[in-house]
Amino acid sequence: MLKKVLIANRGEIACRVMRTCKRLGIASVAVYHHEDRNAPHVAMADEKVQLTGQVPTQAYLDQEQIVAACKATGAEAVHPGYGFLSENAGFAKRITEAGITFIGPDPEVITLMGDKIISREFAAKHGIPVAPSAKQTGTIEAFIKEAAAIGFPLLIKASAGGGGKGMKIVRKTEELEENIRVAASEAQRYFSDGRVYAERLVDMPRHIEVQVLGDGKGNVVHLFERECSIQRRYQKVVEESPAPNLPAKLRDEICASAVRLCAAAKYKNAGTVEFILGSKGEYYFLEMNTRLQVEHPVTEIVLGLDLVEEQLKIASGQGLALKQSDIRQNGHALEVRVCAERPEKDFQPATGRVGVLRVPQGEGVRWDGGIREGQAVTPAFDSMLAKLISYGPDRATAIGRLAGALRDTVLLGVPTNIDFLSRIMANPVFKDGKLHTGFIKEQGESLMPAPVPAATEAAVAVAALTITDDFQASAFHTPEPYASIGAWRN
């Protein structure tokens, strides 16, 4: 097994990886930008190395500084987490050339799966269903014609993209040209690659993904599916496993497709194959993420596995310890992403300072966080603050526990989506498991806050006013005669 691992990340995922390292007796090295010097991942690590950069994200993306940090600390391997350099083939190559183990797939496989167009072609070649599409090979004008020929509705995406950035839905011919131009310019800005492609949009689709583990020699097992259909701005909000109301036969077929894709690619590491599923049971390959996913905990909980441990075992050359027949789902797990944002303002990201933090506890509840009281939430990083995960013998119990945990969570000082998540848990359509990616838009009104009882509002007013000197003076410190005068002298 590895002895020392550098975690080239921050926040909750850096803490998450370190927890497993600690349990397995592997020393951990944190890297951090000055702005994160008091962050939990720095405090948790056995060793730490500061990275410099004009802006904080640049520091975490600086390959040479990370290689130097490995050399300085003697770390034998790098765990990239998710985001940052996790799907950067150049980084995987650079690390490997420096004699360090990259905890992830080979650079060629990252390149293959990192390109939406090439990966789709690869999937189609190996018999995995893909949606009708058109790719940009020449000018944007030619592409507009090809895209229109597929028929509407259409989804326009960045070829090099992810996370919904540069993605547009087009329902009419007259909206096509402008949307393609905007998508191309966004793609250029985000990914330095302005190529876009278009595919037939499946209306009211479900997002079903399959967790896999591969040893790099063509041996692959799947760890069943996750449903991540509850999304906003094309980003996941609620994830769960198993997917509710998914027929076993269809589920097995989707999982087998994922295994076939990864076996063909000789995939090494934990990875996720994403599919969209239509209402008639038709499913299409969406993309593959060649890293640990944000939502991996729901799989861990229903299978009783530690995916970071499996990653470390594969990276250290121990191969696949699991047989497909040994892997069984047990119970139901749900995860919500706690983000600094304003749901009532179209989920705009928010900033502030974590003033008060009380993390929920209780049976079947797990908080994967990377924040602490006093920490600033700045625009420098992603808006996700933590993940809240629940488990139950069945879906209803897991929902009930998550609802209770959300209610118990106190995170003040920065606007968050916590109460919005509570309202999703209380939504009858969600409880029925009738999910699709347009759920939040469709349920719009019913996900708005309920009216507040008058006495509760009075308590809120007093709780806020009592921190002011004026109110304190009038309510508690004023000599009695003046106070009683105060009541009527206005």
Partner 1 sequence: MAFDIAIDGQERTADILARKPDLTVSLGDAVYPLIYSAHAPEEFEIQIAGKTYKGFRYATAEEVHVRLDGRTFVVELPRFGGGHGAGGKQDNEIRADMPGTVVSLHCKEGDEVTSGQKLLTIESMKLQISMVAPRDGVVAKLPVAANTTFERGAVLAALKPV
Which residues are catalytic, by number?
A: 291
Residues 185-244 contacting partner 1, CB under 8 A? 186, 189-190, 233
Q: Does 400 bind partner 1 (CB under 8 A)?
A: no
Could you say which of 64, 141, 174, 480 contacts partner 1 (CB under 8 A)? 480
Could you say which of 23, 125, 345, 441 contacts partner 1 (CB under 8 A)? 345
Residues 405-444 contacting partner 1, CB under 8 A? 406-408, 410, 412-413, 415-416, 418-419, 422
Taking the C-alpha atoms of residue 304 and residue 319, their distance in angstroms, rounded to an integer, is: 19
E strand map for 216-296: 220-232, 235-241, 268-277, 283-289
Residue 368 parent element (H or E): strand 365-369
Q: Given the complex with partner 1, which of 23 and 441 has the nearer CB atom? A: 441
Q: Does 478 bind partner 1 (CB under 8 A)?
A: yes
How many Å from the N-terminal Cα to the C-terminal Cα in the chain?
Answer: 76
Least distance to partner 1, CB of residue 57, Å: 9
Q: Given the complex with partner 1, which of 248 and 455 has the nearer CB atom? A: 455
**Helix 107-114, helix 89-97: angle, nearest 10:** 180
Q: Does 55 bind partner 1 (CB under 8 A)?
A: no
Taking the C-alpha atoms of residue 406 and residue 389, their distance in angstroms, rounded to an integer, is: 10
If one counts every other C-beta atom within 10 angstroms of the C-beta of residue 169, the result is 14
**Closest to 72 measured CA to CA, from 90, 107, 98, 37:** 98
Could you say which of 1, 72, 142, 464 contacts partner 1 (CB under 8 A)? 464
Q: Does 169 bind partner 1 (CB under 8 A)?
A: no
Q: Given the complex with partner 1, which of 248 and 454 has the nearer CB atom? A: 454
- One-letter amino acid at 339 equals C
Q: Does 461 bind partner 1 (CB under 8 A)?
A: yes
Q: Read off the tokens for 461.
A: 């007013």
Could you say which of 383, 385, 386, 447 contacts partner 1 (CB under 8 A)? 383
SS3 75: coil
SS3 154: strand
Taking the C-alpha atoms of residue 244 and residue 227, their distance in angstroms, rounded to an integer, is: 8
Of 33-41, 197-205, 270-278, 351-359, the window that binds partner 1 (rule: CB under 8 A) is: 351-359
| Binding pattern for the stretch 298-337 against partner 1, x by CB under 8 A and - elsewhere | ----------------------------------------
Q: What DSSP character marks residue 334? A: E
Number of residues that bind partner 1 (CB under 8 A): 61
Q: Read off the tokens for 199.
A: 């595919």
Least distance to partner 1, CB of residue 56, Å: 13
* Cα 345-348-352 angle, rounded to 5 deg: 110
Q: Given the complex with partner 1, which of 373 and 432 has the nearer CB atom? A: 373
Q: For residue 143, what are the contacts with CB-CB under 8 A and spacing of at least 6? A: 134, 135, 136, 137, 180, 196, 198
Could you say which of 165, 268, 296, 366 contacts partner 1 (CB under 8 A)? 165
Q: Confirm if 131 and 197 have CB atoms less than 8 A apart.
A: no
Q: Which residues bind partner 1 (CB under 8 A)?
A: 165, 186, 189-190, 233, 342, 345-346, 348-353, 355-356, 358, 379, 382-383, 406-408, 410, 412-413, 415-416, 418-419, 422, 449, 452, 454-471, 474-476, 478, 480, 483-484, 486-487, 490
